[in-house]
Amino acid sequence: MLDQARIDTLAAQDVRPGAHIIDGERRGASDGGEMDVISPLNGKVLTTIPRGTRVDAERAIASARRAFEDGRWAELPPAARKRTLLKWADLIEANALELAVLGVRDNGTEIGMAFKAEPLSAVATIRYYAEAIDKLYGEIAPTDPSVLALVHRAPVGVVGAIVPWNFPLMIGAWKVAPALAAGNSVVLKPAETASLTLLRIAELALEAGIPPGVFNVVTGEGAVVGEAMGLSMDVDVLVFTGSGPVGRRLLEYSAKSNLKRVYLELGGKSPNIVFADAPDLTEAVKVSANGIFRNAGQVCVAGSRLLVERAIHDEFVSKLAEFVKTMSVGNPLDLSTSAGAVNSLRQLDQNLRFVDEARSAGRVVIGGARILEETGGYFMEPTIVTGVDPSDPIAQNEVFGPVVAVIPFDSEGEAVRIANGTDYGLAAAVWTRDLSRAHRMIRAIRAGVVHVNTYGGPDVTVPIGGVKQSGNGHDKSLHAFDKYLDLKTAWIKL
């Protein structure tokens, strides 16, 4: 049970300046430059982090390469790596509330969601991959009996990971945990506006016994640190969650350097499809609202397109608007808050521009404005826009804010056409009593995950990844190891 008094005590503490973690040491930027960390809760400076340079990134990469080549981690027995990773997970769990509060002050997620989705999710992910690594076997190929053909799984080497600001610990763990479990070394670049918790768990990794150089964290701007990682000849695999334009740039960097493999999760414009025969409209309203408005809509799989069968469209929109009125938007460190802050003023301005542009074509049923401006924080009303054409920008582009575009449909086929009618294919949902229809929709919708009569909830046991311009490769589940392990054939003449 979370305790408000304890949360308030942690929230009142000063936050020490951040530092890179390179080769097992806290380091400032090579040129001494710093970046202010602006809290979205009040618009004030919370602390500073190093403004990383190309030199800093190259030092971290060189450290990771040395650590990999000398085998201090990669050549440990899998069971030994498992023990260390489990100790790391225990330390994160012991510091979970501290990490959750620190993260909320840094990126604005409401504390009730952040506690579960950030440190506790990271703990579960690390434990999952730690337990899995000594259970992955090689293969013996069924070939000529005069030959022994073995298939080994070998770590790829140095992994570069670039993660976003919405769920830095959760998404960071999705990438770092399987990479480390497989025996790789890692260089992680957090988002400029959400670095603090990742720096802290890197310190805990050292405390747990992960050797220096095996897990490095470099803060700074993507155009500097991220570019250096992308162009490095010593990064073997690059994994990224973020925007499409940046993902394209990383692919270009790969082509210009060592042709490193690049795995991308580039967001979505996920359709949440409600048929008239949905089992429980009240439940569908509640879950759909949380599926777009929690964390101020800053969720990669957010159900930002709400497709509602015309027969129930008006009723559903009315119920949704009424539910939104019960949601408390405000201080994310207050346990009664339903939705927290937008991560930055830049993101808030972008959200509001999308709504302003939509007013000319659609109708803003509720919301659409900045609120609590007197706090200095970045807060926005949950916003419902109706009268949206499937081709409108608000129905095609990822807003990444608390804004849902409502689109009516008349038939199953039309719902599928609208659902598939964007460049994205990350997630979707279908609400229906008809089991046959549910299976038809799962097959027809082009998305990496399709929810049925729910939205959200898949745990680490199943993969997440997109199709089309939502990216390639998968985080979570045993399939994540595919990115971090090479297949090596041994062909032995007997």
Domain CATH for 331: 3.40.309.10
Query: Is residue 362's pLDDT more than 90?
Result: no
pLDDT of residue 21: 98
Strand residues in 284-418 grouped as ranges (E): 305-309, 363-366, 370-371, 379-380, 383-386, 403-409
What pTM does this model have?
Answer: 0.97
- Residues 202 and 327 grouped into a single domain: no
Q: Based on the residue annotation, tell me whether 265 is a catalytic residue of this protein.
A: yes
- Residues 258 and 341 grouped into a single domain: no
Which CA distances in Å does 60 have to 52, 95, 187? 11, 26, 7
> Mind listing the pLDDT tens digit for each residue in 74-101?
999 999 999 999 999 999 999 999 999 9
- Residues 185 and 152 grouped into a single domain: yes
- Residues 279 and 235 grouped into a single domain: no
Predicted confidence band of residue 27 (pLDDT cuts 50, 70, 90)? very high
pLDDT of residue 360: 82
Type of residue numbered 364: V
> Mind listing the pLDDT tens digit for each residue in 120-133?
999 999 999 999 99
Instruction: Write down the H helix ranges in 49-167.
Output: 54-69, 78-94, 96-107, 111-115, 121-132
Structure tokens at 86: 């489990």
Name the residue among 223, 226, 122 with its Cα closest to residue 167: 122
> Mind listing the pLDDT tens digit for each residue in 273-301?
999 999 999 999 999 999 999 999 999 99
Query: Is residue 1's pLDDT more than 90?
Result: no
- Residues 223 and 319 grouped into a single domain: no
Handedness of CA 79, 81, 83, 85 (dihedral sign): negative
Query: Is residue 361's pLDDT more than 90?
Result: no
pLDDT of residue 355: 96
Mean pLDDT over all residues of the chain? 97
Structure tokens at 225: 């640190």
- Residues 147 and 289 grouped into a single domain: no
Q: How many helices (H) and strands (E) does the chain have?
A: 16, 21
- Residues 221 and 138 grouped into a single domain: yes
Q: Which of 265, 381, 398, 412 is catalytic?
A: 265
**What DSSP assignment string belongs to 35-69?**
EEEE-TTTSSEEEEEE---HHHHHHHHHHHHHHHH
- Residues 261 and 279 grouped into a single domain: no
Tally of domains within the chain: 2
Contact 12, 22 (CB under 8 A): no
Which CA distances in Å does 41 have to 21, 324, 377, 476? 27, 21, 4, 31
- Residues 332 and 426 grouped into a single domain: yes
Phi, psi angle pair for 168, to nearest 5°: -60, -40
The whole domain housing 184 covers 4-266+471-493
- Residues 178 and 220 grouped into a single domain: yes
Phi, psi angle pair for 139, to nearest 5°: -135, 155
